[in-house]
Amino acid sequence: MLSPAVSLLIAVPALRVSRIGVASNIQMCASPGFKAALLFDCDGVLVETEELHRRAYNQAFDEFGLQIDGKPVVWSKEYYAHLANTIGGGKPKMRYHFTGLGAPESTVKHPDTVASWPAVTKRQGEKAVPKDEAAGMLLIDELQDFKTECYKKLVTTAPPRPGILELMDAAIAMPGLAVGICSASTRGGFEKVVNSVVGRSRLAKLDVIIAGDDVSKKKPHPEIYNLASSRLGVPKEACIVVEDSIVGLRAAKAAGMRCVITYTEETAGNDFYAEGADAALLDLSSGVGIDALFSPDVKLRPVLLESVRDKP
């Protein structure tokens, strides 16, 4: 099990050592040898998990018997794609759905956003409705806990996205380049994904791992990437982020970092270049090498993935 806010001590510049099992109370220390950083989002980047998240939320809604105006609460694929591209983190998604609050000011309200607390027809008595936001957030906490357990069961068989682990391995092997994962997901679900898909031996070679529990503000706020930059001691302008959604892209750009988008079928319709993406492509199946992002002296390429990215 990964320790909370895993960002680990590097004793020798450019030398990665095994960090599995390091106590969580060790003070973090950045290596002076890092010249740049490559940071990966998790869901949608390392593995296509958005549909698994949607199914897990719907299982939680069904378990609690959530209803609004007598109709069960169910998130469709189309609506979940809207949520994924509007607000980061599971609890903020549910708060937005039930209250209409928490989304960027520019967000166009989706017709499925009910902005109304649901009746809970199971577990808490017949048609118990949260009386205020405090009670509603307690319900969201319970829903998130149950959803995480559902998700952990669903995600164990999910394969990595094409080419992503090959790129991570190449980055790990590059002296002077820090490599990490920054996910908005809660640690319970996040650890299941990275242990299963990335593997513990590969995780042990990473330089920073941050989950959604480790920050107070979720994407599109840049806190998670600002924290990674600070822990690694790498300037923001020397960092490249790999994301899959508008929410993640906005977080990376707000942090002052370059951003590559590997979109999914659900997010393919977004204009990522209009939002500031430095490169966008469906996946890395064409065999994207680390040299398409960084020069041999670990400097960022002026144009990222120039030969394989979608044309702006």
Question: Strand 71-72 relative to strand 66-68: parallel, antiparallel, unpaired?
Answer: antiparallel
Task: Give the pLDDT confidence score for residue 161 in this predicted structure.
Answer: 95
Are 189 and 155 spatial neighbours (Cβ–Cβ below 8 Å)? yes
The string of pLDDT tens digits covering residues 259-308 is: 999 998 878 889 999 999 999 999 999 889 999 999 999 999 999 999 99
Residue 271 appears among annotated catalytic residues: no
Report in angstroms the alpha-carbon separations of 231 from 7, 10, 268.
Answer: 7, 11, 32
Taking the CA atoms of the chain, what radius of gyration do you get in angstroms? 20
**Domain assignment present for 25:** no
User: Does the reported pTM lie above 0.85?
Assistant: no
How many domains, the chain? 2
Last residue of a domain, one of 155, 170, 188: 155
Q: Are residues 175 and 136 in the same domain?
A: no
Mean pLDDT by 10 residues, the chain (312 residues): 35 34 32 87 91 95 95 96 89 96 90 95 78 95 95 88 97 98 88 91 96 93 98 98 95 98 88 97 93 98 96 93
**Domain assignment present for 239:** yes
Count the neighbouring beta carbons within 10 Å of the beta carbon of residue 249: 29
Task: Give the pLDDT confidence score for residue 33 in this predicted structure.
Answer: 84
**Domain assignment present for 286:** yes
Residue 69 appears among annotated catalytic residues: no
Structural domain for 208, as ranges: 36-48+158-292
Q: Which tokens sit at 76?
A: 């469709």
Task: Give the pLDDT confidence score for residue 58 in this predicted structure.
Answer: 98
Rounded to 5 degrees, φ, ψ at 54 are: -60, -45
**Domain assignment present for 16:** no
Q: Are residues 166 and 284 in the same domain?
A: yes
Catalytic residue among 43, 207, 244, 278: 43
